Amino acid sequence: MARDLLKQDAGSQALLRQAEDRLEMPLRRLMLDGPEAELQATENAQPAIVFHSLALLRQVTAYGVEPLAIAGHSLGEFAGLVAAEALAPLDALSAVRARGEAMSVAAPSGTGMVAVLGLADAVVERLCAATSNVVVANYNAPGQVVISGTNAGLEAIGPKLEAAGARRLVRLSVSGAFHSPLMAQAAQVFAAAWTKIPLGSLRRPQVFNADARVHQTAAEARRLTVGQLTGPVRWTQSVQRLQQLGVDAYVEIGPRRTLTGLVKKILPAAVVHNIEDLASMKAVLETIHVR
């Protein structure tokens, strides 16, 4: 992760040193050498992903590109708050480290998440409502949602989803039923740490997952980023809201290109770019209009 940035960019190297001091964790080793299982633990993966995103964001803004509006998917809301100039980069890393630790420690056992492909949102919602301990956790794109619940609930709803025409069900490799009421204790633990981290008003409009609406006060941002731990990520609706705000080009910043694909499914005609390393950043910045 971020190998090219850490090899070639002095600013990324400095940010990493500061992050390791602040978080008291071997972020460089985890990102570059793993082991993969340790990196994928949510308390480690969250700061690693956000660091990667922030290092790229620093490069993009230095080039002179500024977002007209912002949205982040789940964890990405914290990098979004940095882009909105409401949260300092090191404070964002502290926040997601605390978030990851809360989700790791306080997530109940015997729970999980399943991606449901090929069904309308309304059908999945109806089946979840008729099944105990299962809820919709992510509205990722039309025909692509994720559900969370107890293992028993997920096993019970599987045949119902298949009978309704689901093309595929994929059990996700996660440690809990994220974005569901089962994460209430984790949300409380995270909220206690989050309130101690400085957060200002947002200087750019950010669409939040919890309600797919723009919010720009610190109090609202805190409430909504805690609330998304126990409620669904409304990514489809968030992207549609960005379109309503007049956004005509979307740039994903961070490792991999998952959101790029989701945005194209939500808005097939949209102009979408992905920046995941220095090479892709240079290619994208040469093609997009600098406002």
Catalytic residue (one of 12, 52, 73, 179): 179
Q: Is 201 a catalytic residue?
A: no
Judge whether residue 80 has pLDDT over 90. Answer: yes
User: What mean pLDDT do residues 84-88 have?
Assistant: 98
Which one from 12, 74, 94, 180 is the annotated catalytic residue? 74
Predicted pLDDT at 289: 55
| Mean pLDDT within 38-62 | 93
For the cut 90, the answer to whether the pLDDT of residue 63 exceeds it is no
Q: How far apart are CA 118 and CA 7, in angstroms?
A: 42
Which residue do the tokens 């912002």 mark?
A: 70
- What's the first-to-final CA gap in the chain, in angstroms? 29
Cβ burial of 243 (10 Å; 0-12, 13-18, 19+) is middle
Provide the CA 279 distance to its chain's centre, in angstroms: 23
pLDDT band at residue 287 using 50, 70 and 90 as cut-offs: confident
Give CA–CA dist 200/176, Å, rounded: 31
DSSP 109-173: SSEEEEEEESS-HHHHHHHHHTSTTEEEEEEEETTEEEEEEEHHHHHHHHHHHHHTT-SEEEE--
Residue 83 amino acid letter:
A
Determine whether 179 is an active site residue: yes
Q: pLDDT tens digit string along 90-108?
A: 999 999 999 999 999 888 8
Alpha helices in 175-254 (DSSP H): 184-194, 218-227, 235-244
| pLDDT exceeds cutoff 50 at 64 | yes
If 0-12 CB within 10 Å is exposed, 13-18 middle and 19+ buried, where does residue 204 land? middle
How far apart are alpha carbons 159 and 215 in whole angstroms?
39
Residue 256 has pLDDT above 90, yes or no: no
The model's pTM is 0.94
Average pLDDT over all residues of the chain: 95
- Which one, of 209, 226, 205, 228, lies nearest residue 217 by Cα? 205
pLDDT, tens digit (0-9, with 9 covering 90-100), for 10-49: 999 999 999 999 999 999 999 999 999 999 899 999 999 9
